[in-house]
Each structure stands twice: as structure tokens, then as C-alpha cells.
Amino acid sequence: MSLTSYLVSGANRGIGLGLVTALATRPNTVVFAGARNPAAATQLNDLAAKHSDKVHVLKLVSGDKPGNLAAVEQIKKISGHLDVVIANAGIGDYFASTLEMKPEEMTRHFDVNVNGTLVLFQTTYPLLKESAAPKFVPIGSLVGSVSIGSQFPARMLAYGASKAAVHYLVRKIYQEHPELTTFAVNPGDGVATDMATRTFEAEPGMKGMTPIPVEDSVNGMLNIIDGATRGIPRRRVRQLRWHQVHLVNAARFTMVSPAGGSCSGPHHPFCISIRLGA
């Protein structure tokens, strides 16, 4: 039986580690886990040792095209193809208003979040073409919504602008590559990761938000990725909980409050009834 082959970038911690952990339990699956510094990825290496027949740790640095190509060569030798690429690696660690924002911080966020996603697509595309049903899935964000994210109660300009660019990039990939299923998936807002913890600590407007367990986020996203096909009819879109996101035209999704309540306006941190990638 042919193995389903996954690549997850940013797999050394948080959502990325959660994705690899969940995928490692699946039968007939091989997972390539990308990390900037594999030697320091203790938890990831422990997981790979436990599932040595399934999990392969690779050095993968966002935006480093030669390094990404080298990782792809390793994947090619082991698997020969990729069925699903999840572009998870990203940063969001500088908080400032438009007047205070340092241009170099904007550049740093775009280099990792946008160029990193672009380079990952460019370098993995030859192996995705070898799959019967290839999927390229970057991690999106509510903060990357121009209409809603810009009103989010946090100074997340660098992160939000870069995620908006990721959403646009995904849409262009979709338009240019009809052979691919590609869409941005929102992991939920305030997933219990190191990045979310830093945001909660730095931004008064984020206080009071209850972090979403990584396992819940991962299970929700994988449920969507598993069932995603290119061009789900628009009529199937309806308001859903964050972890039941459905795609429309492979780049749009609709969400409501993780608590299941109605939104009280765009100022509310859990008001996420939106469509992205239009």
C-alpha cells in the first residue's frame, strides 16, 4: 500500500510539533518534520525515535532556498513524492503601532512568513506533482484579514500584514495551479503556544482570552485538510466553529466564535465570522 507523505515546517514546537505528533499515529503514513535547528529539537527528536519508521527530521529554514532544496532531495530519496505540505513555520514576536514599527521588523516577518511559504511551495512542487491528490496548506490567521484583523485588539502589524500576504499568495497559487488543492487554514485564535503566550503577555487587549489546546487545534485542522478538495461549492459554506472551517474555491473559510456564541462586533476578540482569500 502506498504511504501518504506529509511535510510539516516549523515542527520543533507548538502547532507544528502537534501536527507531527498526530500524524505519527496514523497507519500508512510518513511524516517529514522540518526544523530550523534539528539538533536542538529535543521533543521532535524523541518523537522521531519513537516512530523511527514514520517520522524523519529535516533541517528546514524558512526562505532558505538552497537548504529547502537539500531537504527536498532527502524526501525524494525516502518517499519520492509529497501528498500534503503544511507550511506552518512562522513568527509573530514584535508588537508596535504603525508609528512605532521598525521597517526591519516588517522585513523580518515577511522574510519568514511570506518568503518562507513561497520558497517552500517552489521547492516542494516537483514532489507534489508526483501525488495523485496534492495539497499545499499554509497556516493562515484571523489577524491577516484586512477587514477584521486590522481591528484586532493587539499591535500585531508585522504579523498581520505578513499573514495577509500569505493569504494572497495562496490565492495566486490556487489560480495558477489547477492540479493542486491549496488553501490557508486558521488554527484557531489564541492556540496555547509560545507565540500566543508572548502575545497575551505583551498586549493588554488580549487578556482574558482562553488559549485553545494545541491538540484541539491540530485535530480540527487535520479534519479539514483530510477532507479538502479543490473547489467545494460555495453553497456549502456556513457558519461553523473555528475548528470546523470549510474551504470555498480552495482559499476561503468561514468561522464563528470558538465559544459558539454570536459575534458582538469586530472589536470582540472572538468575532471571527469572515471569509479570507476572496
The residues annotated as belonging to the active site are: 159, 163
Distance from C-alpha of 29 to C-alpha of 232, rounded to nearest angstrom:
26
Answer yes or no: are the C-beta atoms of 137 and 184 closer than 8 Å: yes
Answer yes or no: are the C-beta atoms of 63 and 111 closer than 8 Å: yes
Residues 6+ apart with CB under 8 A from 186: 139, 140, 141, 142, 242, 245, 253, 255, 272, 276
Hunting for cell 511551495 — which residue is that? Answer: 121
SS3 of 81-130: the string is CCCEEEECCCCCCCCECCCCCCHHHHHHHHHHHHHHHHHHHHHHHHHHCC
Q: Is 226 helix (H, G, I), strand (E, B) or coil?
A: helix
Joined together, the cell numbers standing for residue 48 give 522521531
Distance from C-alpha of 8 to C-alpha of 82, rounded to nearest angstrom:
11
Distance from C-alpha of 35 to C-alpha of 60, rounded to nearest angstrom:
5
Joined together, the cell numbers standing for residue 54 give 514514520
Residue 191 is classified by DSSP as B
Residues 6+ apart with CB under 8 A from 136: 84, 85, 87, 121, 124, 128, 173, 180, 181, 182
